[in-house]
Structure 1
Amino acid sequence: MTETSLPAPVVGRDLRKTFRRETGEVVTALDGVSLAVGTGSLTALVGPDGAGKTTLLRLMCGLMPPDAGDLAIMGIDVTAAPQAVQDILGYMPQKFGLYEDLSVQENLDLYADLHGVSLEQRRAVYPRLMEMTQLGRFRDRLAGKLSGGMKQKLGLACTLVRAPQLLLLDEPTVGVDPLSRRELWEIVLKLVREDGLTVVVSTSYLDEAERCDHAVVMHAGRVLAQGAPAEIMAEAAGCTFLATAPEGMPARSLQARLFALPRVIDAVPEAGRVRVVRASAEDRAPLAIDGADIPLEAVPARFEDGFMMLFHAVADEGVRNTMTVRTPRTGGGDAVVVEVHDLVRTFGDFTAVDHVSFQVRRGEIYGLLGPNGAGKSTTFRMLCGLLPASGGTLRVAGADLRTSRAAARERLGYVAQKFSLYGQLSVDENLDFFASAYGLRGGRKRERIAWAKQQFELDRFSDLASGQLPGGFKQRLAMAAALLHEPEILFLDEATSGADPLARREFWGRITSLSEQGVTVIVTTHFMEEAEYCDRILILDAGRSLAEGTPAEVRSRADTTDGRPPTMEDAFIAIVEKARQERNNGPARSAA
């Protein structure tokens, strides 16, 4: 059989799939989806939570049948022969089943055993997998002791252990830091470009879709558009600009105001300015804020701009609602509300946080950035009073957390990376529980719950179990619960991980509104563009401070590449790589 006569890796026609919730509501996950994937190509499935990406991948794997439509993998009818399909493809779900009490090598061996990979085949494939993933020197380390990025690479290695003909990856880089994300994509691109493997990947990172050969843009179970990334970019041709904020106005404040304008499709901070997508290339009227025209500079469109143009036509305009927040109890000003000096946290002989110091002033948005395992979450838990420090001083909202953690927690709000409310309780029951836990009673409690439901558009989900909420509304409920008691300081730990671009715009619009009214916000994120919303950021690695400053000061530490100014991601990678190189080479230089 010649290469041109090989069956296409994936052909789907008019695929439909529905699910029934416990409440009896029927949810349409796929509504007439058709697509074709070329041999040796890299295809991206992009779209918001609930678009149908994961359902489509699970249909391709034969894990569930479609209600209607036809789907063939390598010429095999998936509905008729799901096992035959599963024998020739590799599938890495969002939560890959690593065994954390087994070593790297033992996990690989287990998956090789499950897939019937012979010893001879293992001798051929293991060295390449170890080299590709750079896990060779960690063969004996328990999977549970690996960083998030290393776990993802091990999951990918286990998926590739039997050399599949088709590789399906469901959000492989969610929750992964920029350095690990880059390394994962180097592996994927190598598999496609050098080995000719066909790969289908779902992703929340639209810059990742821009690297693919083919992109399928989905929303509410339907395909909005598909084609080469350049075709998606063309949707925004002539509509993209960089706006300069008036003197004294932070870029995030300009972003929130521009995003609320009726003929603006998108606005997002970018290198101290705001990237704007207008509704039409024919829109030539000046954009004005508070009566002042905003200078605009035309720039080429990118994939995210085209995505937002497509999405705007079908999205709920409710996401553009502005947020109303009361003034914090202790008022405004620029007083220091978080003061950390020589903070240390050890676990046995392991130092997770190593003499970290910083200050945060009232109303600031302060970002803690770092690779997986850098010490961000440990620092966060100490700041929230959830974990005692091993050394140093830590004052939050006027309280010494080494002696008065309970007093400090009353003035804090916290939104975790993973949905941490009670999934079996309804939206109303969760809000009622957390309002009581924060000491709200009577009319005051009813007032704050009503505010939260109206502000976050949760009324229509009042009786729905929170675990069944669409992903974006889980995030809204978590934020609503955290704000019920009007905290002075809000902690956000990877709160937008896995969220689509529109949900992140909505989220940051709310955070900007909180900041402008005096609420202090401390945030961790792996989306480097979100660091542009911060007043200052601190980059950590191996528990130590590497760099602190405004976004502009941090960006200045990276070199210009390809004739373009450095991005925050460029700076993050440059700072972390330089520190690791110095750390690794330090002893050798000293000996010399």
Structure 2
Amino acid sequence: MNAGPLVVARGLSKRFPDGTLALDGLDFDVLPGRVTGLVGPDGAGKTTLMRLIAGLLLPSEGSVRSCGFDTASDLPEIRAAVSYMPQRFGLYEDLTVAENLALYADLRGVVGDERTATTQRLLDFTGLGPFTSRLAGKLSGGMKQKLGLACALIRTPRLLLLDEPSVGVDPISRRELWRLVYQLVDRGIAVVWSTAYLDEAERCTSVLTLDRGRLLYDGPPEELTARAIGRTVLVRGADRKRRVLAAALRLPEVVDGVIQGRAVRLVVRDGARPPSPPDLGAPDAEVIPTSPRFEDAFVDLLGGGPKGESPLSGGNRPAIPGADAVVEAVGLTKRFGSFTAARDITFRIGRGEIFGLLGPNGAGKSTTFKMLCGLLVPTEGTARVAGADLYRSGGQARARLGYMAQKFSLYGDLSARQNLEFFSGVYGLSGRRRREAIDRLVGAFELEPFLKVDAGRLPLGFKQRLALACAVLHDPPVLFLDEPTSGVDPLTRREFWSHINAMVERGVTVLVTTHFLDEAEYCDRIALVDKGRVIANGSPDDLKDAARSDSLPEPTLEDAFIGLVEAADAREQAA
């Protein structure tokens, strides 16, 4: 086997007709038999680089060779050696699993006995054999990604390009996807994996880090992580962790901060001393050193996370009269024919609390979420939101609720301003109150340069900003967020959560679903749902404690998620 690089880029630049410089003078190699991670903020140039490597775009300057072929002149050879799985699900949702595989086999010229053998091998490889007659649009997020991978492998490539393949995929399916990819790597295939999840970057052999089209780092992830040794601490024992985080981000020596369960995780500047508890307004807290993560070093490499306070901070929402719990679900059950999607879902959420609803794809989270929003009527059970019965006084409940849907739910053909005006009208705002609400959120989310841009054409991070702005125009006491930061980069995610934390400190109650478990650390409590039922309920640290064992003394929340789901499945099979 040729041990030389499968991708060679020299002076690689790409400028688009509108003058945007997407990539600027990149030099790097990609070696066979390894996973090379591609990370960077939104707009860094990751997808553009993928398309250049695949020969779908031509360089403006410099060159890139894929599998020994020049992308500017050898496209037939590149298409035979390179497979590309795009960021968005590129399959046909109205075709079955088998029909999608057959279509891609036709496109790649795989026929006869070779097609039969290859299709069966890929169905076995991905575990999709029992689902060949299911429409692709009816698959779970994890199964869609497995089908996309199978279609990309219909002719075995030398180089596989995966553009954010795990976005919207639950932790169990993500681990399965990684297992499949490493089976390919063991056969000598080179994989380039673009990701917004930085824990995935730690699983790569090498990492390319981009920012604004420039290559900031090229090497093993552990070498970048080592740059943050001695600069990461946990603040434990603070009564108000969100206030501690806000105080820390005002300090010049702190370059990054996130909530990690009951603690606050901080990264300080090189050569700086960590802040003391009094500096953080928490004299009874404890500041202790902790090992750095790749994400700590990555954010530091980019110049640090967002600083200062959210413009949404300040003020205080009054308590809701007569409401012991701001959100309450009692015995919520939803059946579709003989299928029970949610079974006896029960929980209570207090004022100023962040409550996470987690679970595998297809576990019943979205069904529960829709029942609590009034979009689905339960077969059994009741729900109250902000003191109102959701099914007897639905209009009153929904008026007190802000909702940000899982998929971009705004109107793509309307401008950002038109979306804001439309939703303010839906929420009953008019006149001066309407103008002030729109102006306040345009400033808070820095939307001014994009007000005339159609929402469908906004960069992903600004789409999410606009969606959140529309959800909180009427200053609701309750906010429902369905996978609000799916696919966005760590810096945008931090900014997003700074706004949520600010609203929660004012007394807003938040219900959130997410597959990004580092993000779930922001929750005060979590309900873990599997096969339509709640299998665990507690703080992030409570769930990690439940998964702790001699073989896993310091479990992550992902470890706890997978361990608790597997244990519940084992109990069900044994019953």
What is the TM-score with the length of structure 1 in the denominator? 0.92
CA gap 1:468/1:97 in 2 versus in 1, 3 angstroms: closer
Aligned to 1:486: 475
The C-alpha deviation readout for 1:393-430, integer Å capped at 9, x for no partner, is 11112222222222211111011222221222222222
Q: Does 1:502 align with 2:480?
A: no
Amino acid at match of 2:482: D
Report 1:223-234 matches (<5 A).
Answer: 223-234=215-226
Is 1:582 equivalent to 2:538 in the alignment?
Answer: no
The answer to whether structure 1 residue 516 and structure 2 residue 516 are counterparts is: no
- 1:243 maps to which residue? 235
Following superposition of structure 1 onto structure 2, how do residues 463-482 of structure 1 map, counting pairs within 5 Å? Answer: 463-482=452-471
Question: Is 2:30 the partner of 1:37?
Answer: yes
Structure 2 CA distance for aligned equivalents of residues 414 and 65 of structure 1: 42
Match of 1:261 in 2: 251
Residue aligning to 1:270:
260
- Alignment counterpart, residue 448 of structure 1, candidates 424, 437, 444: 437
- Within 2, Cα distance between the matches of 1:157 and 1:235? 38
Contact 2:547 2:563 in 1 (8 A): yes
Does residue 539 of the first structure (1) align with residue 528 of the second (2)?
A: yes
**2:70 corresponds to:** 77
1:3 aligns with 2:10: no
- 1:223 CA drift (Å): 1.1
Q: How does 1:79-478 map to 2 (within 5 A)?
A: 79-192=72-185, 194-246=186-238, 248-249=239-240, 251-283=241-273, 286=276, 288-290=279-281, 292=283, 294-312=285-303, 321-324=310-313, 326-328=315-317, 330=319, 335-478=324-467
C-alpha deviation, 1:387, in angstroms: 2.0
State how far apart, in whole Å, the 1-side matches of 2:139 and 2:183 are.
Answer: 23
Conserved 8 A contact 1:426-1:462: yes
CA 1:50–1:458 in structure 2 vs 1: closer, same or farther (change >3 Å)? Answer: same
Q: Is the 8 A contact 1:90 1:167 kept in 2?
A: yes
Moved more, 10-19 or 499-508: 10-19
Shift of residue 144, structure 1, vs aligned partner: 2.7
Following TM superposition, by how much is the alpha carbon of 1:431 offset from its aligned partner in structure 2, in angstroms? 1.3
Whole-angstrom distance in 2 between the partners of 1:582 and 1:131: 27
**SS in structure 2 of the partner of residue 312 of structure 1:** coil
Helix, strand or coil at the partner of 1:261: coil
Change (3 A) 1:413 1:527: same
In structure 1, distance between residues paired with 2:13 and 2:361:
38
Structure 2 residue aligned with 1:590: none
Q: Is the alpha carbon distance of 1:137 and 1:244 closer, same or farther for their aligned partners in structure 2, counting shifts above 3 Å?
A: same
CA distance in 1, matches of 2:284, 2:255: 18
1:589 matched to which residue of 2? none
Letter in 2 for 1:230: E
Conserved? CA contact 2:233–2:287, under 8 Å: yes
1:342-394 Cα deviation digits (max 9, x unpaired): 11222233221122111111211111001111111111112112222222111
- Tell which deviates more after alignment, 545-554 or 494-503: 545-554
The answer as to 2:15 corresponding to 1:18 is: yes
Matched-pair contact (CA < 8 Å) for 1:344–1:356: yes
How far the C-alpha of 1:131 sits from its partner, in A, is 3.0
Which residue identity does 2:92 align to in structure 1? Y
Instruction: Compare 26-35 and 145-154 and name the one that shifted more.
Output: 26-35
Which amino acid letter does the alignment assign opposite residue 91 of structure 1? Answer: Y
Q: CA deviation at 1:462?
A: 2.5
Distance 1:309 1:333, change over 3 A: farther
The answer to whether the 8 Å contact 2:11/2:26 transfers is yes
**CA deviation map 1:464-502 (0-9, x unaligned):** 222232221211111111111010100000001111111
**Residue deviations 1:169-213, cap 9 Å, x none?**
000000000111111011112211x21110001001111111111
Instruction: Find the residue that maps to 1:226 and give its secondary structure.
Output: strand
Kindly provide the amino acid, as one letter, of the partner of residue 203 in structure 2.
Answer: R
State the AA in 2 paired with 1:359. R
SS in 1 for 2:16: strand
The whole-number CA distance in structure 1 between the counterparts of 2:394 and 2:192 is 48
- Equivalents in 2 of 1:259, 1:529: separation in Å? 19
Shift of 1:336: 0.7
Does the 8 Å contact 1:334/1:363 carry over to 2? Answer: no
d(CA) in 1 for partners of 2:43, 2:82:
25
Partner SS, residue 292 of structure 1: coil
Find out whether 1:60 has 2:79 as its counterpart: no
Deviates more, 1:282-291 or 1:459-468: 282-291
Structure 2, unpaired ranges of 5+: none
3-state secondary structure, aligned to 1:420: coil
Q: Is the 8 A contact 1:423 1:465 kept in 2?
A: yes
The number of aligned residues is 574
User: Is the 2:55–2:78 contact (alpha carbons within 8 Å) kept by the matching residues of 1?
Assistant: yes
Percent of aligned pairs with the same amino acid: 51
Aligned-partner SS, 2:302: helix
CA contact (8 A) 1:535 1:550 kept: yes
Is 323-332 or 469-478 further displaced after alignment?
Answer: 323-332
* Conserved? CA contact 2:250–2:308, under 8 Å: no
Is there any run of 5+ residues in structure 1 with no aligned partner, and where?
587-592
Note if contact 1:44-1:203 (Cα within 8 Å) is conserved in structure 2.
Answer: yes
Letter in 2 for 1:404: S
Q: Per-residue displacement from partner, 1:270-305 (whole Å, max 9, x unpaired)?
A: 342222111114435635212738532222222111
Alpha-carbon separation, structure 2, partners of 1:376 and 1:271: 21
Q: How far apart are residue 523 of structure 1 and its match? A: 0.3
Between the aligned partners of 1:319 and 1:481, the Cα distance in structure 2 is 23
Letter in 2 for 1:292: P
Instruction: Kindly indicate whether the alpha-carbon contact (under 8 Å) linking 2:247 and 2:281 is maintained by their aligned counterparts in 1.
Output: no
Which amino acid in structure 1 is aligned with residue 371 of structure 2? M
Superposed CA offset, 1:62-105 (max 9, x none): 11212222111011110112232112111111223223333323
- The amino acid of 1:33's aligned partner reads L
SS at match of 2:256: strand
Secondary structure of the residue that 1:150 maps to in structure 2? helix
Question: For the structure 1 residues 98 and 554, does the alpha-carbon distance in structure 2 shift closer, same or farther, using more than 3 Å as the test?
Answer: same
Give distance in 1, aligned partners of 2:368 and 2:359.
Answer: 12
- Relative distance call for 1:101 and 1:399 in structure 2 (3 A) is same
Q: Provide the rounded CA distance (Å) in 2 between the counterparts of 1:340 and 1:434.
A: 27
CA distance 1:438–1:560, shift in 2 (3 Å): same
